[in-house]
Structure 1
Amino acid sequence: MTSEVDVALAVLRQVHTEQKYRELKEALRESLDRGLVLSARWLGELVASLGRKLEPQLLDNDAETVGTKRGESDLFFYGKALFDAREYLRAASILEACTSKLGRFLRWYSLFLHGEKRKEEMLLEVSPAGCAAPCKPQNTLAASIVQEMDKAVQSDASLPEDAYICWLRGTALKACGCRKEALCAFIEALQRKPHLWAAWTALHELGEDYSSIISALRTLLETGKAWMFAFFLVMQSGTFSGETSIIPVLQALSSEFPDSVTLLHLLAHAHFSAHDFETAAELCRRLRELDPYFLDAVDLYSNILFVQEDQATLSTLARDCVQIDKYRAETCCVVGNYFALRQNHEKAVQYFRRALTLNRSYTTAWILMGHEFLEMRNTSAAVEAYRRAIDLDPADFRPYYGLGQTYELLHMPHYALYYFEKAATLRPCDDRMWAAVSQALQDIGRLDDAVRCLEKALTWNPDNWSYAKRAGDLFWETGQYDSAAKHYATYLEIRRALRAPHATIDTDEADVVVRMMTYLRQRGELKLANEYLEYMTAVESAEKRETMRKLACDASDPAL
């Protein structure tokens, strides 16, 4: 053993400190490039230690290439190794002496992520996944990061020129609740670097009104350099205040970036939102052929299969995902959808909870768990799940719609109306939102407003016969018989087109026929009233047939 010790000490003393420094630094960079996190952490510590012994002229021959100031690159690489190892507070401490933009950014970002990590820990301490929390923890370091940034600007006025620092300042301001200031910071970051994707994403997640964001972006868009605005437009597609189809934009992007699985995912999502489930499913199948290990889109595919009630394909998808990564939040979501399709709601909730244990910011899991609680008539848990989803993504219409349905179930129409209106504001081109608003208005007795909302629903889906009948019923109840007849005629036309030859008609359709004959008889349009006799043979109810026969006889009376 003594001989080995002697050899080790002799070799250690034989190699000069400068050579050790160069070799260690080369190994550190190679380890960082290859993702050897633990090795890089140890090597970074050794490099920083040797750097304190050597003369300054022997250090940092790569400082300019890295983007740090002379004398900082050793500390930066050490801090970066700790950052990659997720030792955020330790990384921030090591980087405290850095005065370069890159070093300061990494320090502040490390502090922010430590605050986010602590926030998640506090959330787990006060409530398990999927349960209500008595309060919403905040990032306790965000305010101090903003203060440190402001203080640093006093000594280095060039710091705000760095787009990444502007973005990070906006992110910290958002965590402090200063949303308007955050919006300005994100816009400033994009003005300095229009292709900074983190800033585009932050703008979307800010949840501000679409028109106000476009107004803030106007100057940037006029420069013609913000080509990534097309991607932002895709993210914002659910918040437009008018009729806008995002599918052509996605098709153009997919043509520009062929075989991008993320763009295919977004295109499938757009078709799913447009209720084109077949095209959406086909795009998901193509995506899985291109990259079978891409799990970011499997929750969407499982939602499509759930709507299509394709249990066999959903079972296969769940099995494949479990084999690829069993403890991935998206995998748990797929399995949860499988159990939901089988009406095993308790098991579905169990898997959605597991998804949230893995990723508490997974909005889809909160929404789907809310749906399952609603199916189980556990309304308090459903409300909590939907509200957590809204906290995570205020621009998503689905939790608002779910809350509206929950309060509708609780016979609280004023609450239901509030949340349905929020959903309709976020998704004004979706007929279902306006139909839900109309029903809530009808429940509180605002029939005129209910009719107007139904007409909006018909604008977006003119072939929905149920909307036409509801609109006709509401007009009839309010004495607006001409408008009622117009919608009833549309309803009967759609039903006739859908009905198989020689099929019978139900009581609702027979009631509409009777009302139309009554209306036309009172207007003196006797010939048109008698044309509805063609429905008589298809009416099941003998009572309705007799009423129609009597109306036809009355219509033929010359005294009328």
Structure 2
Amino acid sequence: MGLSAKDALHLKEALQVAVVKCSERCLYQSAKWAAELLNALPDIAPGELDRTTSAAGSQLHPVFSPNDDPLEAALEAKELNKYLLAKTFFDCKEFDRCAAVFLPESLLSGLLSAKPSDVASPRGKGKASAALPSEQTLPTISQKSLFLALYAKIISGEKRKDEDSEMIMGPQDLGSVVNKQLLIVSRFLERWFAERKAEDSELAPSQGFLEYLYGMVLVKEKNDTVALDYLMQSIHLYPWNWGCWLEITNLIARVEQLSTVAPHLPQNIMSFIFHANTSVNLYQQGPDLAAAINDLLNIFPTSSFLLTCKALLNYHSKDLMAAEENFSSLLALHPHRLDSLDHYSNILYVLNMRPKLAFLAHLCTSIDKFRPESCVVIGNYYSLLSLHEKAVQYFRRALTLDRSCLSAWTLMGHEYVELKNTHAAIESYRRAVDVNRRDYRAWYGLGQTYEVLEMHAYALWYYKKAAGLRPWDGKMWQAVGSCLQKMGRDRDGIKALKRALLADSYYDSTASSFGSTGTIDRMAQMDPEVLLQIAIMYDRLDEEEEAKAYMELCVAQEDGGQDGADGGALSESVAIHRDSPGGVASDELADGRPEKGSGHEGTGVTVATSKARMWLAKQAMRAEDYPTANRLAMELCQDGVEVEEAKALIREARSRMELANMMDR
């Protein structure tokens, strides 16, 4: 995927305009994202640049050109002094003063006193709108100034909301404090859009930013369906506002929903970037997504955002070493960038790379110790040192800086589990889910915590939520199966654990593509613990042949082979996988731990394989296969597991064999 010199120039100009327009409206994160993408574009060759710009050499650069709409351009020129004053107030974090420049409190208070039906009625239509008091007429100001004033009002409300909130995880921290400015902003924008939808309206058409603002307000009011409509309108009117795309990403909870939204998106490079980013956020994997990100990196080779997407794709695919290498390269390329370093610290924690995590914590502290990402990195470092109280302290500090910091809520829940404070752990995980219902780690953590409390029905519900989010993660299905086993639902537990085997085989198979439903790779390494659990449940169901097949398969994992396994028992799991989860709730699980070895070296002797060998020895005794029982018991003595019981089996098997020999004579 490449761009011609002309297309590259147009893309560069569009991103330059986006940086200016977003900065003018104080959308600094969107402006930063566009500026980083702009500087990741390779320079156009001088010869190509001359041919491309020869016809337009004397024209004004689009960044400096006035508003395309003459009415808006006139209003912006008229109120330039006020706009500059309001923007300086915003930059100095005087948000109420900024809003009051264009929207004084006397004007806004009239909207709250008006009836909702009056507010929603378009001006000039019907008696209701004609009867509105004159003081409620919306002011005639440019859309840029109006956006700045209303945005400042929302930020002021968020600031006051944080100030009124109780300390993190304090006795009164119920998460019930609301932004009191949302109602007035919502009423104002509802009225503003109603006026433009009137058939006889002569007002200037919207430019897209106010739709984005209204969508943001509706999201905070939990009106997701209408919010998505307005956000979609916004990206069609102005597609270069990355903040709007992120809001849409946050509203998409399922892959099916992404497929529904995709055909209605504008067809441009922003839509392509959005689709790749949202797929990564939905934990999708596979060669198609990797190819899409690589195509984008061909256009923006040094883009920190796209390099982060690539690293997260490896992280979600459980290729932790590749993810670590990508993050390390990204850090070398952008050494002062703190965005997403909390994910990097998670990877270093799982890989137990203590020196690198210590270096990362020191680096973050030297750059900005009061960024939420820095606090999360330091918290992970203390957690690796088993200093769980200190880790909690830094995760709480991250949440004090930003209550929507997802990593901090989830990781603080993990720390409270280590500290045996189950109540605080549950509350932390619940708050993480409130921030992002797609966080499988929080759902899994809730399941683990309730399982510790022996509340298996609750644990099963949360495990199923997690498995719905990560259907190809064997760890999730293993948790579901183990929980069902403890509840005595052996048949359902067997199905869940077979899904776990299939999920692990997906990651182990380098040839399989995302979404394939092939059979289990007969030579792939499988988890002996899962195989043992399946066998035990078959044994409880009095299906001895099935139990024996899985016990033999469990023992075979010691050397990486699978001889003696019953292929029919495994083939059933493929059919299970191809069905929909059925009883498994799939709305929405564990932190990325390294996958088990995918080679054929075997696991060696484990507790699970020794238990399976013991079961097989006793079964051989029951079947009067004394030579096999003797051989298995001798192997147990060599393993050093259950030695006394194994010796007793050897004595009994040999005596039975001697007795049989005597009778044959």
Q: Is 1:95 matched with 2:140?
A: no
Alignment-mate amino acid for residue 426 of structure 1: L
After superposition, the C-alpha distances for 1:96-139 in whole angstroms (9 at most, x for unaligned) are 3453222222222222222222222222xx33467761342122
The 10-residue stretch of structure 1 (303-312 or 541-550) with the greater mean CA deviation from structure 2: 541-550
- 1:357 aligned to 373, 378, 400, which one? 400
**TM-score, normalised on structure 2?**
0.67
Task: Report the CA distance between 1:63 and its aligned residue.
Answer: 6.2
- 1:482 aligned to 545, 565, 568, which one? 545
Alignment-mate amino acid for residue 166 of structure 1: E
Task: Report the CA distance between 1:296 and its aligned residue.
Answer: 1.5
Cα distance change on mapping 1:225 and 1:380 into 2, 3 Å: same
Equivalence for 1:398: 441
Q: Secondary structure of 1:391's match? A: helix
The 10-residue stretch of structure 1 (541-550 or 139-148) with the greater mean CA deviation from structure 2: 541-550
- The whole-number CA distance in structure 2 between the counterparts of 1:304 and 1:228 is 29
Q: Is 1:112 matched with 2:154?
A: yes
Equivalence for 2:476: 433
Q: Secondary structure of 2:74's match? A: coil
- The whole-number CA distance in structure 2 between the counterparts of 1:525 and 1:245 is 53
Alignment-mate amino acid for residue 487 of structure 1: Y
**8 Å contact kept, 1:132–1:384:** no
- The whole-number CA distance in structure 1 between the counterparts of 2:467 and 2:447 is 11
Alignment-mate amino acid for residue 538 of structure 1: Q
- The whole-number CA distance in structure 1 between the counterparts of 2:501 and 2:622 is 28
Equivalence for 1:218: 263
- Structure 2 unpaired stretches of 5+: 1-19, 29-63, 104-138, 198-202, 506-525, 561-596
Structure 1 or 2: larger helix share?
1
- 1:69 aligned to 47, 64, 74, which one? 74
Q: Is 1:538 matched with 2:638?
A: yes
- The whole-number CA distance in structure 1 between the counterparts of 2:428 and 2:656 is 59
Alignment-mate amino acid for residue 112 of structure 1: I
After superposition, the C-alpha distances for 1:371-411 in whole angstroms (9 at most, x for unaligned) are 11110011111112111111111211111111111111111
Cα distance change on mapping 1:115 and 1:551 into 2, 3 Å: farther
**TM-score, normalised on structure 1?**
0.79
Q: Secondary structure of 2:370's match? A: coil
Cα distance change on mapping 1:236 and 1:551 into 2, 3 Å: farther
Cα distance change on mapping 1:152 and 1:539 into 2, 3 Å: closer
- The whole-number CA distance in structure 1 between the counterparts of 2:624 and 2:239 is 68
The 10-residue stretch of structure 1 (407-416 or 310-319) with the greater mean CA deviation from structure 2: 310-319
Cα distance change on mapping 1:253 and 1:64 into 2, 3 Å: closer
**8 Å contact kept, 1:241–1:426:** no
Q: Is 1:325 matched with 2:332?
A: no
Aligned ranges for residues 139-538 of structure 1 at < 5 Å? 139-157=179-197, 161-206=206-251, 208-220=253-265, 224-225=267-268, 227-239=270-282, 246-462=289-505, 463-497=526-560, 505=605, 508-516=608-616, 535=635, 538=638
Alignment-mate amino acid for residue 383 of structure 2: A
After superposition, the C-alpha distances for 1:297-343 in whole angstroms (9 at most, x for unaligned) are 32222222211222222222222221222222222222211111111
Equivalence for 1:18: none
Cα distance change on mapping 1:131 and 1:260 into 2, 3 Å: farther
Equivalence for 2:591: none
Q: Secondary structure of 1:228's match? A: helix
Cα distance change on mapping 1:160 and 1:403 into 2, 3 Å: farther
Task: Report the CA distance between 1:458 and its aligned residue.
Answer: 0.7
**8 Å contact kept, 1:207–1:395:** no
Task: Report the CA distance between 1:184 and its aligned residue.
Answer: 2.0
Alignment-mate amino acid for residue 384 of structure 1: E
- The count of corresponding residues between Structure 1 and Structure 2 is 501
The 10-residue stretch of structure 1 (291-300 or 510-519) with the greater mean CA deviation from structure 2: 510-519
Alignment-mate amino acid for residue 489 of structure 1: E
Alignment-mate amino acid for residue 391 of structure 1: D
- The whole-number CA distance in structure 2 between the counterparts of 1:548 and 1:190 is 75
Equivalence for 2:87: 80
- 1:137 aligned to 164, 177, 194, which one? 177
Q: Secondary structure of 1:386's match? A: helix
Alignment-mate amino acid for residue 646 of structure 2: K
Q: Secondary structure of 1:360's match? A: coil
Equivalence for 2:60: none
Cα distance change on mapping 1:302 and 1:62 into 2, 3 Å: closer
**8 Å contact kept, 2:429–2:446:** yes
Task: Report the CA distance between 1:207 and its aligned residue.
Answer: 5.2
Equivalence for 2:49: none
Task: Report the CA distance between 1:531 and its aligned residue.
Answer: 8.2
Task: Report the CA distance between 1:553 and its aligned residue.
Answer: 8.7
Cα distance change on mapping 1:169 and 1:444 into 2, 3 Å: same
Alignment-mate amino acid for residue 485 of structure 2: Q
Task: Report the CA distance between 1:412 and its aligned residue.
Answer: 1.2
- The whole-number CA distance in structure 2 between the counterparts of 1:539 and 1:388 is 47
Of all paired residues, the percent bearing the same amino acid is 29
**8 Å contact kept, 1:379–1:406:** yes
Cα distance change on mapping 1:151 and 1:159 into 2, 3 Å: farther
Structure showing greater relative contact order (alpha-carbon pairs closer than 8 Å, 6 or more residues apart): 2
Q: Secondary structure of 2:93's match? A: coil
After superposition, the C-alpha distances for 1:216-267 in whole angstroms (9 at most, x for unaligned) are 33333xx643653443443343536998874444333333321222222232
After superposition, the C-alpha distances for 1:262-299 in whole angstroms (9 at most, x for unaligned) are 22223222222333222222122211211111111322
**8 Å contact kept, 1:281–1:305:** yes
**8 Å contact kept, 2:379–2:395:** yes
